[in-house]
């Protein structure tokens, strides 16, 4: 995984006293600005125990996996105090969701981000229950930690501020004061990081704000990803889309029903999930975290809006996949379960309906469990990312190791080469600037510069056929058309080329 190589290398350099720097696409070490600092810094801190960075990452992700599963269960348990099986179901679904397990088995920032995000949600909801200012501050600190782990953490800042302004049962002045305190604490570390980035690299986040319309394929990918969270796995696209729409309609109907019931007094002392609550009913023996559904709803909607904004203005290749939507997945999982519990508690449920709910829960758990078992077996057998059998046994990497060291290497997999061999490598010239989605105006001049470098320093071009997602780079056939290349080695996963001598 390309991002993982940057995180681990930056951590290793920090541990060795060189600061948060990593290999860039230009084949040189430079300050890490494209990512926030907390995850790599934490790996370096664990590395002080004399563990390698890779082992430190493995232990950290394993601990965070257990912590996140536990956090989901405890959150549901605190909201639905009289339910035993609902928290168990929530924890089981989190444990067995392939996308959740997947991100916890890579050296990625999402697990740490999720841990602090869940802590922020819980603390903020408890603050609404108790109005204890200390909880507001701790929630802001958790949000700051999440923001310092992933830039998308800005969504958590917006969620907290929106919730404090909308649902805090206090005067407008006090709501505004709470929101300002929360935002100031949550944004302070990232503000310091942005200033550092601007001083060392001249840019706060290594990203440009340029409009590039979101592609239909990205939207289809997002819908396909979200539809797989419930009962639908890898089935035909049209069936999955229809099933997803049905699921959304059902959930929307439940939310609307609960909202309408919330405008009336609920018999038996129950509280509405979505209705505003008077100050004298902030504490209820039946349910805590009364504002949690509001907070989760704001987070889900703002996260989706941010991803669409990012795909349209920040990164043209933003993928609405399992990784980018993992926060939405966990928040939606908690929200759906607690709404189902509220519906169950506030309605007269017949024995038949109760059996039906149990069957749905069992089918859902079975679906997740089977998919998790398949994922585990595949991962155990083949591994993942650059630690997978495919890369560890790469014929192209093996042939590259036999070539003289020191010569320049250009590749569509420069990060894989550096991670697996330790040799620096450079990215091929981008035909399309992947961040903006626009044609690279300097493409031809960069190709000419690469050709001169290869010829003068006896360098090579290494092209992997296992990285089709790098659409913004020229294809192997295009390179052979544009450059006088001759093949010097070939493997099942790629080829190695050199430039022919200039004819005089």
Domain co-membership, 242 together with 300: yes
Domain co-membership, 181 together with 298: no
Cα(426)–Cα(434) distance, rounded to whole angstroms? Answer: 16
Contact 263, 59 (CB under 8 A): no
Q: Residue 278 — very low, low, confident or very high, per pLDDT cuts 50/70/90?
A: very low
Cα(409)–Cα(423) distance, rounded to whole angstroms? Answer: 9
Domain co-membership, 454 together with 393: yes
Cα(8)–Cα(169) distance, rounded to whole angstroms? Answer: 45
Residue 435 has a CB neighbour count (10 Å cut-off) of 19
pLDDT at 231: 58
Domain co-membership, 224 together with 328: yes
In a domain, 20, yes or no: no
pLDDT at 283 over 60: no
Task: Show Cβ contacts of residue 256 under 8 Å, excluding neighbours closer than 6 positions.
Answer: none
- Ranges 88-92, 285-289, 369-373, most confident: 88-92
pLDDT at 284: 44
For residues 338 and 252, which has the higher predicted lDDT (pLDDT)?
338
Cα(487)–Cα(480) distance, rounded to whole angstroms? Answer: 10
In a domain, 374, yes or no: no
Q: Which residue has the tokens 């550096």?
A: 418
Cα atoms found within 13 Å of the Cα of residue 433, Cβ hemisphere only? 16
pLDDT at 269 over 60: no
pLDDT at 263: 47
> Out of 43-52, 358-367, 428-437, which region has the weakest mean confidence (pLDDT)?
358-367
Domain co-membership, 245 together with 331: yes
In a domain, 434, yes or no: yes
pLDDT at 40: 97
Question: 85-96 and 326-346 helices cross at what angle (nearest 10)?
Answer: 160
Q: What is the average pLDDT value for the chain, to the nearest integer?
A: 86
- Ranges 108-112, 249-253, 267-271, 371-375, most confident: 108-112
pLDDT at 257: 63
Cα(381)–Cα(411) distance, rounded to whole angstroms? Answer: 28
Pairing status of strand 426-427 against strand 409-411: parallel
In a domain, 470, yes or no: yes
Segment 446-465 mean pLDDT: 94
Q: Supply 29's token pair.
A: 């070490």
In a domain, 121, yes or no: yes
For residues 356 and 66, which has the higher predicted lDDT (pLDDT)?
66
User: Percentage of the chain surpassing pLDDT 90?
Assistant: 58
Segment 300-326 mean pLDDT: 92
Segment 136-154 mean pLDDT: 97
Q: Residue 344 — very low, low, confident or very high, per pLDDT cuts 50/70/90?
A: confident
- Cα angle 488, 493, 499 (rounded to 5 degrees) comes to 25
In a domain, 33, yes or no: no
Contact 122, 289 (CB under 8 A): yes
Domain co-membership, 428 together with 472: yes
46: nearest Cα among 57, 33, 37:
57
| Coil vs helix vs strand at 313 | helix
Q: Supply 190's token pair.
A: 């990232």
pLDDT at 19: 94
pLDDT at 155: 97
In a domain, 460, yes or no: yes
Task: Show Cβ contacts of residue 503 under 8 Å, excluding neighbours closer than 6 positions.
Answer: none
DSSP string, 85-122: HHHHHHHHHHHH-HHHHHHTTSS-SHHHHHHHHHHHHH
In a domain, 275, yes or no: yes
Distances (CA, A) of 295 to 140, 184, 207, 257, 310: 14, 19, 29, 19, 22
Domain co-membership, 311 together with 339: yes
Secondary structure tally for the chain: helices H, strands E: 19, 9
Domain co-membership, 215 together with 338: yes
Cα(26)–Cα(412) distance, rounded to whole angstroms? Answer: 12
pLDDT at 112 over 90: yes
Q: Supply 74's token pair.
A: 């405890």
Residue range(s) defining the domain that contains residue 452: 389-499
Q: Residue 275 — very low, low, confident or very high, per pLDDT cuts 50/70/90?
A: very low
Residue 370 has a CB neighbour count (10 Å cut-off) of 12
Listed residues 167, 186, 207: the one ending a domain: 207
Q: Which residue has the tokens 């609307």?
A: 256
Strand partners, 453: none
Cα(298)–Cα(175) distance, rounded to whole angstroms? Answer: 17
Q: What is the pLDDT of residues 167-176, one digit of tens each?
A: 767 788 999 9
Total structural domains in the chain? Answer: 3
| Phi, psi values for residue 409, rounded to 5° | -125, 120
Domain co-membership, 220 together with 338: yes
224 burial level (CB within 10 Å; 0-12, 13-18, 19+): middle
Measured over the CA atoms of residue 154, residue 256, residue 237 and residue 380, the dihedral's sign is positive
Listed residues 347, 376, 406: the one ending a domain: 347
For residues 231 and 40, which has the higher predicted lDDT (pLDDT)?
40
pLDDT at 285: 41
Domain co-membership, 405 together with 332: no
pLDDT at 287: 52
| Coil vs helix vs strand at 45 | helix
Contact 260, 355 (CB under 8 A): no
| Coil vs helix vs strand at 23 | strand
Helix or strand run (H / E) with residue 497: strand 494-499
- The pTM score is 0.88
Domain co-membership, 185 together with 216: no
Listed residues 207, 237, 255: the one ending a domain: 207
Domain co-membership, 215 together with 177: no
DSSP string, 247-308: HHHHHHHHHHHHHHHHTSPPGGG---SSS---GGGS--SS-S-TTHHHHHHHHHHHHHHHHH
307: nearest Cα among 291, 321, 318:
318
> Out of 25-29, 237-241, 436-440, which region has the weakest mean confidence (pLDDT)?
237-241
């Amino acid at each position: 995984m390309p991002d993982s190589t940057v995180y681990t290398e930056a951590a290793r350099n920090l541990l060795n006293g060189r600061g948060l720097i990593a290999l860039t696409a230009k084949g040189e070490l430079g300050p890490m600005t494209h990512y926030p600092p907390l995850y790599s810094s934490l790996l370096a801190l664990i590395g002080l125990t004399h563990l390698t960075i890779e082992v430190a990452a493995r232990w950290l992700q394993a601990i965070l996996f257990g912590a996140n599963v536990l956090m989901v269960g405890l959150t549901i348990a605190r909201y639905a105090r009289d339910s035993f099986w609902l928290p168990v179901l929530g924890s089981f679904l989190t444990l067995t969701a392939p996308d959740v397990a997947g991100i916890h088995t890579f050296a990625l920032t999402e697990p740490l981000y999720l841990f602090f995000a869940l802590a922020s949600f819980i603390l903020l909801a408890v603050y609404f229950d108790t109005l204890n200012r200390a909880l507001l501050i701790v929630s802001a600190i958790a949000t700051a930690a999440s923001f310092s782990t992933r830039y998308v953490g800005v969504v958590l800042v917006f969620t907290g501020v929106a919730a404090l302004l909308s649902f805090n049962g206090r005067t407008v002045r006090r709501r505004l004061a709470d929101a300002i305190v929360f935002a100031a604490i949550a944004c302070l570390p990232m503000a310091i990081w942005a200033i550092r980035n601007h001083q060392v690299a001249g840019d706060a986040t290594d990203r440009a704000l340029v409009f590039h319309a979101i592609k239909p394929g990205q939207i289809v990918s997002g819908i396909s990803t979200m539809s797989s969270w419930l009962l639908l796995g890898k089935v035909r696209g049209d069936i999955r889309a229809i099933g997803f729409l049905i699921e959304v309609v059902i959930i929307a109907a439940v939310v609307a029903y609960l909202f309408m019931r919330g405008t009336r007094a609920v018999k038996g002392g129950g509280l509405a999930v979505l209705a505003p609550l008077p100050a004298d009913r902030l504490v209820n023996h039946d349910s805590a975290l009364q504002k949690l559904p509001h907070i989760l709803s704001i987070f889900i909607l703002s996260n989706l809006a941010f991803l669409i904004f990012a795909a349209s203005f920040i990164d043209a290749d933003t993928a609405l996949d399992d990784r980018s939507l993992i926060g939405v997945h966990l928040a939606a999982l908690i929200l759906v379960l607690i709404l189902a519990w509220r519906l169950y508690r506030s309605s007269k449920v017949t024995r038949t309906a109760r059996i039906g709910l149990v069957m749905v829960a069992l089918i859902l758990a079975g679906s997740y469990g089977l998919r998790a078992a398949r994922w585990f077996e595949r991962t155990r057998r083949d591994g993942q990312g650059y630690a997978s059998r495919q890369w560890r046994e790469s014929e192209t990497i093996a042939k590259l190791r036999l070539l003289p060291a020191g010569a320049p290497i250009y590749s569509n997999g420069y990060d894989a080469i550096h991670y697996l061999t330790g040799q620096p490598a450079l990215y091929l010239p981008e035909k399309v600037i992947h961040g903006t989605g626009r044609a690279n105006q300097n493409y031809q001049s960069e190709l000419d510069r690469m050709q001169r470098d290869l010829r003068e320093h006896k360098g090579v071009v290494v092209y992997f056929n296992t990285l089709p997602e790098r659409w913004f780079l020229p294809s192997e056939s295009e390179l052979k058309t544009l450059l006088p290349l001759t093949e010097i080695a070939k493997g099942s996963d790629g080829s190695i080329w050199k430039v022919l001598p200039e004819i005089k």
